Amino acid sequence: MKTGIDAISFDVAKIHLPIQTLAKARNIEPEKLEKGLGLIKMTLPDTHQDVVVFGANALTKLILQNNINLNEIARIYVGTESAIDSSKPISSFLIALMEQKFGANTLSECDVVDFTFACIGGVDAMQNCIDFVTLNPTKKAIVVTTDFAKYDLNSTGEYTQGAGALAILITANPRIIAFENNWATSTKGVFDFFKPYRTISKTAITGNSTNEPWFENLESEIEIHKDQPVFDGQYSNQCYMDRTRDAYFSFKKLKNTTETVYDSWKSIVMHLPYAFQGRRMLSEIYTLDASNIIISGDEAASECQNKLKEISKSEAYKEFVNEKLMPAEIASSLIGNLYTGSIFMGLLSTLAHFYDTEKEISDSKFGFLAYGSGSKSKVFEGTIQPEWKLAIACVKLFETLEKSFEIDFDTYNKLHKKEQKISIRTPKNEWILDRIENEIPNLMGARYYKWVD
Q: Give the pLDDT band of residue 296 (cuts 50, 70, 90).
A: low
**Which ranges of 136-175 does DSSP label H, i.e. alpha helix?**
none
Q: Give the pLDDT band of residue 280 (cuts 50, 70, 90).
A: very high
Judge contact between 152 and 115, C-beta under 8 A.
no
For residues 408-435, average pLDDT: 97
For residues 188-198, average pLDDT: 96
Q: Say how many C-beta atoms besides its own lie within 10 A of residue 74's C-beta.
A: 19
Find how far residue 13's CA is from the centre of its chain. Answer: 13
Judge contact between 169 and 68, C-beta under 8 A.
yes
Q: Is 125 helix (H, G, I), strand (E, B) or coil?
A: helix
Residue 297 pLDDT > 80: no
Q: Would you state the pLDDT for residue 35?
A: 95
Separation between Cα atoms, residue 215 and residue 234, nearest integer Å: 40
Q: Would you state the pLDDT for residue 436?
A: 97
Half-sphere CA count of 228, side-chain side, radius 13 A? 13
Find how far residue 429's CA is from the centre of its chain. Answer: 24
Q: Is 333 helix (H, G, I), strand (E, B) or coil?
A: helix
pTM of the model: 0.95
Q: pLDDT tens-digit profile of 45-94?
A: 999 999 999 999 999 999 999 999 999 999 999 999 999 999 999 999 99
Separation between Cα atoms, residue 369 and residue 363, nearest integer Å: 20
Separation between Cα atoms, residue 162 and residue 15, nearest integer Å: 10
What backbone torsions phi and psi does residue 385 show, to the nearest 5 degrees?
Answer: -95, 160
Q: By mean pLDDT, which of 96-110, 201-215, 376-390, 426-440 is the weakest? A: 201-215
Separation between Cα atoms, residue 382 and residue 183, nearest integer Å: 11
Separation between Cα atoms, residue 422 and residue 384, nearest integer Å: 44
Judge contact between 3 and 183, C-beta under 8 A.
no
Q: Would you state the pLDDT for residue 317?
A: 93
Angle made by CA atoms 94, 97, 99, in degrees to the nearest 5: 110
What percent of the chain is predicted at pLDDT more than 90? 91
Separation between Cα atoms, residue 38 and residue 326, nearest integer Å: 10
Q: pLDDT tens-digit profile of 119-144?
A: 999 999 999 999 999 999 999 999 99
Q: Would you state the pLDDT for residue 303?
A: 54
For residues 154-173, average pLDDT: 98
Give me the chain's average pLDDT, please: 95
Q: Which one of 3.40.50.10260, 3.40.605.10, 3.40.50.620, 3.40.47.10 gives the CATH number of domain 3-192+228-282+325-452?
A: 3.40.47.10
Q: Would you state the pLDDT for residue 136?
A: 97
Q: pLDDT tens-digit profile of 15-46?
A: 999 999 999 999 999 999 999 999 999 999 99
For residues 311-319, average pLDDT: 86
Nearest of 47, 51, 81 to residue 273 by alpha carbon = 81
The residues near 256 (Cβ < 8 Å, ≥ 6 apart) are none
Nearest of 345, 446, 451, 422 to residue 9 by alpha carbon = 345
Residue 312 pLDDT > 80: no
